Amino acid sequence: MEVVEKDKKQIRQAHCEQELKEFIDSVKDMEHGDSYLIAVLHKAQGLYGYLSREVMDTIAQQMQIPTAHIWGVATFYHYFNLTPPGKYVVSVCLGTACYVKGAPQILDAVRNELKIDLGGVTEDRLFSLQLARCLGACGIAPVVMIGDKIHGEMTPQKVVDVINQYRKADSAHSTGLASSPRATKK
């Protein structure tokens, strides 16, 4: 079983490498090809989930841009992750509507429940925490997005309950009893 998982990872890795190479090839010969660096970094993060040193080195070689420049761009923009994210990325909205309806307290509840700070990943690699400026769901503020699901009208207790639903679903999934938490608007 472990060999099969290793083979799947190697196949996925090879696929990501090929897709990134093809994307870089499609932009590097364009006029001012190096100006597509941010697009290439977005593509790499989309493929790998984060920007590892190895991926940035590959981009540097393929685009013929110094690694130091790529590192500078990747660390300047808050969007880019330099460490692997958790299985579920928890985004707490701090847009105006969410903020005035209690988002700071929700953020504190998430930090306390997960025992991580912004940009952190839980020890079990299940959750990572980030801020969002606006998730476009102001009508059900305050909101939290976990993965690609919006959870609205959150309170500190509700957000802890939702996190625990994800934990339970993940535990059930690893034992073969999968069920996914649904978006909530309580």
Strand partners, 35: none
Q: Greatest CA separation found in the chain?
A: 53
**Residues 65, 96 within the same domain:** no
- The partner residues of 91 in beta bridges, in order of sequence, read 130, 145
**164 and 92 belong to one structural domain:** yes
Residue 186 lies in a domain: no
What is the extent of the structural domain holding 68? Answer: 2-76
Q: Does some domain include residue 14?
A: yes
Domains in the chain, number: 2
Domain boundary among 76, 102, 133: 76
* Residues contacting 66, CB < 8 A, separation 6+: 60
Residues 9, 71, single domain; the answer is yes
Q: What confidence score (pLDDT) does residue 81 get? A: 87
User: Do the domain assignments include residue 180?
Assistant: no
94 & 51 share domain: no
Asked, for residue 179, whether it belongs to a domain, the answer is no
Query: What is the number of other CB atoms lying within 10 angstroms of the CB of residue 176?
Result: 6
Residue 185 belongs to some domain of the structure: no
Residue 128 in domain:
yes
122: domain CATH number is 3.40.30.10
First-to-final CA distance of the chain: 41
Same-domain pairing of 131 and 160: yes
| 164 and 97 belong to one structural domain | yes
Question: Which of these, 99, 120, 110, 115, lies nearest to 163 by C-alpha position?
Answer: 110
- The C-alpha angle 45, 93, 178, rounded to 5 degrees, equals 65
Query: Are 20 and 92 part of one and the same domain?
Result: no
Last residue of a domain, one of 35, 53, 76: 76
Are residues 54 and 17 part of one domain? Answer: yes
Residues 93 and 142 in one domain: yes
Task: Please indicate, yes or no, whether residues 94 and 156 belong to a single structural domain of this protein.
Answer: yes
Do 11 and 38 sit in the same domain of this protein? yes
> Is 18 inside a domain boundary?
yes
Q: Kindly give the confidence (pLDDT) of every residue in the chain, 186 residues in length, as a single tens digit, with 9 standing for 90 and above.
A: 566 667 777 888 888 999 999 999 999 888 887 789 999 999 999 999 899 999 999 999 999 999 999 999 999 987 888 889 999 999 999 999 999 999 999 999 999 999 999 989 999 999 999 999 999 999 999 999 999 999 999 999 999 999 999 999 988 877 665 555 655 554
Q: Give domain status of residue 181, yes or no.
A: no
